[in-house]
Amino acid sequence: MSVSPERQAVEIGGHRLALTHLDRVLFPASGHTKAQVLQYYARIAPVMVAHTADRPASFVRAPEGPGGQSWVAKNPPGGKPGWVRVVPVEHREGVTEQVVIDTTAALVAMANLGAYEVHVPQWTATAGPDGHDRLVLDLDPGPGADLVVCCRVAQRLRQLLEDDGLTAHAVVSGSKGLHLYAPVRAASGRDAGGYAKALAARMMGEHPGLVVVSMARVERRGKVLIDWSQNASAKTTAAPYTVRLREGSPGVAAPVTWDEVAACRDPDELAFTPEQVLDRAETYGDLLASLTGDATRAPLP
């Protein structure tokens, strides 16, 4: 896909899209325009879509970039092409339709509508909310802590997960922290959340000066919050490879190797631009490829 300033009609996967406001600068600090973000999504889609396919997506929408108005949207954006797949999802407030990002065209179409940040649950539409196939732990540093501390916590969590027969994969969140994923056999949100909560509590018991499981900011100074709650069926996590809408330059939720986690001594070492993530995908392929297969999928203890 090639684009020019302001507006262009393109064909992606047999679907025609009218891309608009292509010269809009979304990230003034780095100069990234909407055209560059769309280019990133079009090129990263071959690895990203495997982690969003069949999952009802929600979005952080910010048509003018992180400096403008932004909001979380579960309903399909206005102007969504009719060919973009939607699935019904039951929420407390009733059943709503949500978009499924299962093709390059769908990913670019949503980004074109200002839905730049993609979040998905740990279950698929096919299996339903009681068929979680991924466990996730969101490591979020409090004031006085940083990504380096998250990496040290992640290494120990990896060991604990391996002791329970689960294979951990690391993804820098694209913001401040780190996500750990483990493929699991079908489990309910209650069981997945219960296991994740117990694991976080065990880690806190081992390192009470380093880890917390409470959201209260007064308890988080100098510590890493292990957010286990994103395993609830109603919760979502920033999808691997999604752009993050942060002030300054765009962050990316980028998979990293365990060697990189172990070697990290400065947060900037694991902060990647969209262009760098594309280069990494070309060099390494999808570092999360085994997350979507069955070979490493194990039952929760």
pTM of structure:
0.95
Give the model confidence (pLDDT) of 64-112 as tens digits: 999 899 999 999 999 999 999 999 999 888 899 999 999 999 999 999 9
Give the pLDDT score at 188. 96
Instruction: State what percent of residues in the chain have pLDDT above 70.
Output: 97
Give the pLDDT score at 295. 76
Give the pLDDT score at 293. 84
How big is the CA angle at 169 (ends 166 and 175), to the nearest 5 degrees? 135
Give the tokens for residue 241.
Answer: 């490879």
Give the pLDDT score at 190. 96
Tell me the mean pLDDT in the region 214-241.
Answer: 90
Q: What's the CA gap between 186 and 133, in Å, rounded?
A: 5
Tell me the mean pLDDT in the region 228-254.
Answer: 95
Give the pLDDT score at 238. 98
Minimum mean pLDDT range among 28-42, 74-88, 286-300: 286-300
With a cut of 60, say whether residue 3 has pLDDT above it. no
Tell me the mean pLDDT in the region 1-30.
Answer: 87
Q: What's the CA gap between 255 and 261, in Å, rounded?
A: 10
With a cut of 80, say whether residue 230 has pLDDT above it. yes
With a cut of 90, say whether residue 1 has pLDDT above it. no
Q: What's the CA gap between 135 and 174, in Å, rounded?
A: 19
Mean of the per-residue pLDDT values of the chain: 94
Give the pLDDT score at 217. 64
CB 225 within 8 A of CB 140: yes
